[in-house]
Structure 1
Amino acid sequence: MSSLTTQPEWQHLKTLAESVKDNHMRDWFNTDPQRADKMQAETCGLFLDYSKNRVTDDVMSGLMSLARARNVEKQRDAMFGGQAINQTEGRAVLHTALRNLTDKPVYVDGEDVMPEVKATLDKMRTFTESVHSGEHKGYTGKAVKDIVAIGIGGSFLGPKIMTEALKPYQQKGVKVHFVANVDGCHITDVLASVDPEETLVVMSSKSFSTQETLQNTQTAKNWFLASGAAQEDIAKHFVAVSSNVKAATEFGIAEENIFPMWDWVGGRYSLWSAIGLPICLSLGFDHFHSLLKGAHAMDKHFCEAPLESNMPVIMAMLGVWYRNFFGAQSHVLLPYYHYLRGLPAYVQQLDMESNGKQVTQQGDVVDYETGPVIWGSEGTNGQHSFHQLIHQGTSLIPADFMLPLNVPNQDDTHHAMLASNCFGQTQALMQGKTFDECYADLSDTDMDDATRKAIAQHKTMPGNKPSNTLLFNSLTPEVLGSLVALYEHKVFVQGAIWQVNSFDQWGVELGKVLGNQVLDGINGDASSDNFDASTQQLIAQFQRANAQK
């Protein structure tokens, strides 16, 4: 057994889980009128109701004891202090420094990184304002109307989903198009919709060698040159976010249009850096700065609030409770707001790339479950499809519901219906519907008793399905920054409990290496002996299908 599972705090939670597994939340609400008041937290514009969880006061106390025993606070302070907590790569983890809006220095290897962070923000502001004002012009003297943002992974998801979520704040006159997929259909469709004389391409790749991003950028370059532009005109239409200045300048990008990246920022945490340039170009720098402000406020709360009232810690430990003591394999995110529909995909990468690990930081294979499958969709669409499984399926699936209390251009009828569905789903998941209630509902039918009992059995819902509800007055840039940082810190806390390195991604790296090797095989630059029989067969079929082209 591992050091985690033998800890007294872990064993105590196992005992508590056994003692409450047959209890129903419906009964807890009936016997404790103060339950909802006690199990809530509020900070940074977010209100969390976690009363619809299969926990008691003793369970919450036990979860916080486990957090302390696993040195969550100490590990948190090490991250904010610039220590190299990404041990496998020997790196600090300082996405929080990117939104450090104080004068406090942040040191990495004895050097304060804040002057460079602030200089990059100033550069982003200046460039964004030059595009929006029309000062930055293309090679024919026309202002920029379209931005094609090319990246993949965190370099794509973060900027895309943040700009979608903040659609009411988007600037008029400039439209941002995001491209990630190496499938040529995507980049072809986007380029067909824009004018090269009025288009700016933002390429985001730390190494300037990411296969998909580089190929899409090369395709954009070929398209641009084919329109009649010259090589020297690239400097006015292409910018890069990269640490490889040499490769970017050789591509044709002007050095003053290269924005820096640092190895202490992981891709899935990079939207706060110059990777967020497309956010600036879409929303304006002031709104991007508000994103940083909201995230910084959540950082402050995470560092200062006691564990018992610390929102990221509460959500993280509830996740540990279900993953490790109830066998929950997945966790669903349900934003009841159309513009926030992309958040589940963002948190999916954040969580699964961070904690989808099977080895501890000490190199031991775990004997407990780590990161769950993260998935989700916008409400109310899911109610007409996969909510069925959550209500009556055999799997326990904890859920996070999210709802803004007000929306732009609000239609009160629509919004009241949206809220009623959100709140009604959390109530139905918690309460369920008993056989007796379902049987009584059929009293006015002409069914015989046997049929009535059979139908009532099919309609019965056990309830006792856990959920959190996150409310916010409206989804401003600042609130969105707090919300994203909340999930970042939740993931960090769970990684600290499981003692995995939440900041490397060797599985992703292997996929990149193998993809490059297979591409060599397809192009005839690698021996078939490098591949297993199945892969050889697939390559051969692809080569035959494309031999005549």
Structure 2
Amino acid sequence: MNSSSLQLSQRVYTPLNALQAHAERLQAQSLSDLIGSDTPSARRRSSSLAFTFNTLHLDLSKQRVTQETLSLLTDWAHSCGLEEKRKALFAGAKMNTSEKREAMHMAARWPTAATPPNGMEDAAAFCQQQRLRLAEIVERVHQREWFGATGQSITDVVHIGVGGSDLGPKLISEALADRPSHTVVNVHFVSSMDGTQLLPLMESLDPATTLLVLASKSFTTADTQFNVQTALVWLSESLEVDVPTICCYQLLGVSSRPDKMTEFGIPDAHQLVFKDWIGGRFSLWSPIGVSVAMQLGMAKFNSLLEGAHMMDRHFLETPLTENLPVLVALVGAWNCQFLNISSHAILPYDARLKSLPAYLQQLEMESNGKSVCLDGRSVTHATCPIIWGDVGSNAQHAFYQLMHQGGHTVSADFVAVAGREVAATQAVRESLASQEQLTLANCLAQAQLFALGDDAIPNALRGSMAQSHRGNQPNSLLLLNQLNAWSMGALLALYEHKVFVQSVLWNLNPFDQPGVELGKKLATRLYQALAGEASEQDIVHDIEHDIVHDIVNDPSTLQLLKKVSEWRK
């Protein structure tokens, strides 16, 4: 018996103890050892770590895991009550404990023809009713029957949101509305609070045919409020129509606060509502996605929802050992907590997925980037890793050098698309097919080199290639048959459920974000200072006493305020 096994035998068995001892043993094996050469055992291992769900294929064979690892991880999930908590999630239990709310984003994509789980019935019915309203609005725009304040039909939509109200719709727009032939209406996204995204739109769009979509769960977020005020002033001055009239004709509101939308001057007919039990970063499937539906059409939007719903069913009904979101979550927790890999790269090998890393940054780090358990105790280990990344073909010429030969260990998700249908001449299709093959070859080669390092270099190239590629960087490959609405829905729902599973393993609440709020509060008084509404003495007083009681006078920030004030004058 080795020392790790002896130590384990001398203490009470728990899944965590077993995983820790297993990790210590596995650290002595490299991925080259696990993957091995082309032998029957290596082929069996690779086959056992490959999983397919409809048009999505997951390969875990380049992860530092064995079947024993997966068995121990599954035992851990069982011991955390994952199956019971999964059922409670879909049944409408108040999983968001700090805000005493359900987390029912799955209801937003539940189809009318399917019976929802017990406890979800009312939520699904409400979402389906709002989806009908959304479809009516989309049809009205597509039929050129939505008229602006001067009587002209809407041709362009400016979607104003931030965070989950922006990242999800923007990702889908880039992925699926990649060519003019794929779009019905032009949609433009504005999220930055500095106005730089809005300025070029005000110079290029026709104000008479532009519809503003204000997407904000709370309807109080400063970023969106300032952007929409500027946009309304632009429309009002350009069309010589007062702002209240513009609000009646050229503003669509999407929020969980219909009272705030009415107070703002948006007519009931131009309001879409979702409940506060849909979190912002889980809200793509709700009316927050209305701009995407306008751009792509309801058929594609419904296909997006269908793909996500089918992943919901897979997650809810499939045993843990074959459940893709569960497997991705377990392996991710293994890398972060037991192999101490604190950095995770998202590397899509398709430029249409360029916003996927940013989308997953919010989804994962805002959900599980926490250090306090549900019971108030401090977490004693790393939880969510740092999520980052870029389109793989660009990343190869940027940071892959560090990942291959630097001193940092990272894990990675490679995301690739097997094929693409293009309506073009035979010669153009053949040329594009060659580009696709080159892209896939680069994706597979980089995943291989991440895992094996120098051992990936063929004998024929040894001596002519630089060595010291460190390897041993665990990675998964998610392969989509095609990048379409259904597969995008399934992919994003997979990551949503991954977040939930990991929150169960780490005993966290993934549906709140208290760490986001403090900076917003501190910014309010500083904004007043920059706008000339408060004196320097007021700022000092607020930092010392009013905003947050334990923040003392900060001369660093004060001298920056002075410099900004000096230069702005």
Provide the TM-score with structure 1 as the length reference: 0.92
User: Which range moved further: 65-74 or 508-517?
Assistant: 508-517
Q: Which amino acid aligns with 1:324?
A: Q
Shift of 1:24: 2.4
Partner residue in 2 for 1:447: none
Stretches of structure 2 that go unaligned for 5 or more consecutive residues are 1-10, 423-428, 544-553
2:373 aligned residue (346, 355, 360): 360
Shift of 1:140: 2.4
- When residues 501 and 202 of structure 1 are mapped into structure 2, their CA distance, relative to the original with a 3 A threshold, is same
Distance 2:183 2:84 in 1: 46
Partner residue in 1 for 2:101: 91
| Contact 2:127–2:274 (Cα < 8 Å) also in 1 | no
Aligned pair 1:162/2:175, yes or no?
no
- Measured against aligned partners, the alpha-carbon deviations of 1:84-111 in whole angstroms (never above 9, x if no partner) come to 1111110100001111114434676x98
- Measured against aligned partners, the alpha-carbon deviations of 1:390-440 in whole angstroms (never above 9, x if no partner) come to 222222211111111112425111111011101111111222115998998
Aligned pair 1:15/2:24, yes or no?
no
Distance 2:482 2:447 in 1: 20
2:467 aligned residue (459, 465, 469): 459
Distance 2:216 2:139 in 1: 23
Stretches of structure 1 that go unaligned for 5 or more consecutive residues are 444-455
Q: Secondary structure at the match of 2:96?
A: coil
Shift of 1:174: 1.8
Distance 2:457 2:279 in 1: 53
Distance 1:240 1:291 in 2: 22
Distance 1:60 1:289 in 2: 35
Distance 1:194 1:261 in 2: 29
Distance 2:259 2:420 in 1: 46
Shift of 1:172: 4.0
Distance 2:141 2:54 in 1: 32
- When residues 536 and 207 of structure 1 are mapped into structure 2, their CA distance, relative to the original with a 3 A threshold, is same
User: Which range moved further: 310-319 or 231-240?
Assistant: 231-240
| Contact 2:185–2:296 (Cα < 8 Å) also in 1 | no
Q: Which amino acid aligns with 1:426?
A: A
Q: Secondary structure at the match of 2:384?
A: coil
Q: Secondary structure at the match of 1:380?
A: helix
1:495 aligned residue (496, 499, 503): 503
Q: Secondary structure at the match of 2:252?
A: strand
Shift of 1:206: 2.0
Partner residue in 1 for 2:256: 243
Shift of 1:463: 1.9
Q: Which amino acid aligns with 2:33?
A: D
Report the count of equivalent residues.
529
Distance 1:256 1:107 in 2: 32
- Within-5 A mapping of 1:508-523: 508-522=516-530, 523=532
- Within-5 A mapping of 1:359-378: 359-378=372-391
Partner residue in 2 for 1:430: 451
| Contact 2:449–2:456 (Cα < 8 Å) also in 1 | no
Q: Which amino acid aligns with 2:557?
A: T
Structure 1 runs (4+) deviating above 3 angstroms are 105-108, 168-173, 434-443
Distance 1:435 1:381 in 2: 22
- Measured against aligned partners, the alpha-carbon deviations of 1:478-497 in whole angstroms (never above 9, x if no partner) come to 11000000000111111110
| Contact 1:44–1:294 (Cα < 8 Å) also in 2 | no
Distance 1:258 1:508 in 2: 27
User: Which range moved further: 136-145 or 320-329?
Assistant: 136-145
- When residues 111 and 384 of structure 1 are mapped into structure 2, their CA distance, relative to the original with a 3 A threshold, is closer
Shift of 1:246: 3.5
Partner residue in 2 for 1:380: 393
1:68 aligned residue (66, 78, 99): 78
% of aligned pairs identical?
38
1:525 aligned residue (499, 519, 534): 534
- When residues 160 and 375 of structure 1 are mapped into structure 2, their CA distance, relative to the original with a 3 A threshold, is same
Aligned pair 1:277/2:290, yes or no?
yes
User: Which range moved further: 240-249 or 481-490?
Assistant: 240-249
Distance 2:227 2:128 in 1: 30
Q: Secondary structure at the match of 1:333?
A: strand
Aligned pair 1:297/2:310, yes or no?
yes
Shift of 1:35: 1.6
Q: Which amino acid aligns with 1:276?
A: G
| Contact 2:149–2:245 (Cα < 8 Å) also in 1 | no
Q: Secondary structure at the match of 2:284?
A: helix
Q: Which amino acid aligns with 1:13?
A: L
- When residues 149 and 57 of structure 1 are mapped into structure 2, their CA distance, relative to the original with a 3 A threshold, is same
Distance 2:269 2:296 in 1: 22
- When residues 197 and 107 of structure 1 are mapped into structure 2, their CA distance, relative to the original with a 3 A threshold, is farther
- Within-5 A mapping of 1:166-185: 166-168=176-178, 171-172=182-183, 174-185=185-196
Shift of 1:333: 0.9
Aligned pair 1:543/2:543, yes or no?
no
Distance 2:287 2:13 in 1: 43
Partner residue in 1 for 2:549: none
Partner residue in 2 for 1:473: 481
- Within-5 A mapping of 1:319-358: 319-358=332-371
| Contact 2:169–2:284 (Cα < 8 Å) also in 1 | yes
| Contact 2:448–2:456 (Cα < 8 Å) also in 1 | no
| Contact 2:329–2:499 (Cα < 8 Å) also in 1 | yes
- When residues 116 and 12 of structure 1 are mapped into structure 2, their CA distance, relative to the original with a 3 A threshold, is same
| Contact 1:302–1:310 (Cα < 8 Å) also in 2 | yes
Distance 2:178 2:558 in 1: 50
Q: Secondary structure at the match of 2:441?
A: helix
Provide the TM-score with structure 2 as the length reference: 0.89
Q: Report the RMSD for the aligned CA atoms in angstroms.
A: 2.2
1:314 aligned residue (320, 327, 334): 327
User: Which range moved further: 414-423 or 226-235?
Assistant: 226-235
Q: Secondary structure at the match of 2:509?
A: coil
User: Which range moved further: 507-516 or 268-277?
Assistant: 507-516
Q: Which amino acid aligns with 1:524?
A: E
Shift of 1:6: 8.2
- Measured against aligned partners, the alpha-carbon deviations of 1:150-181 in whole angstroms (never above 9, x if no partner) come to 00000010111111111257654521010000
Distance 1:359 1:40 in 2: 35
Q: Which amino acid aligns with 2:558?
A: Q
Q: Which amino acid aligns with 1:392?
A: Q
Distance 1:461 1:302 in 2: 37
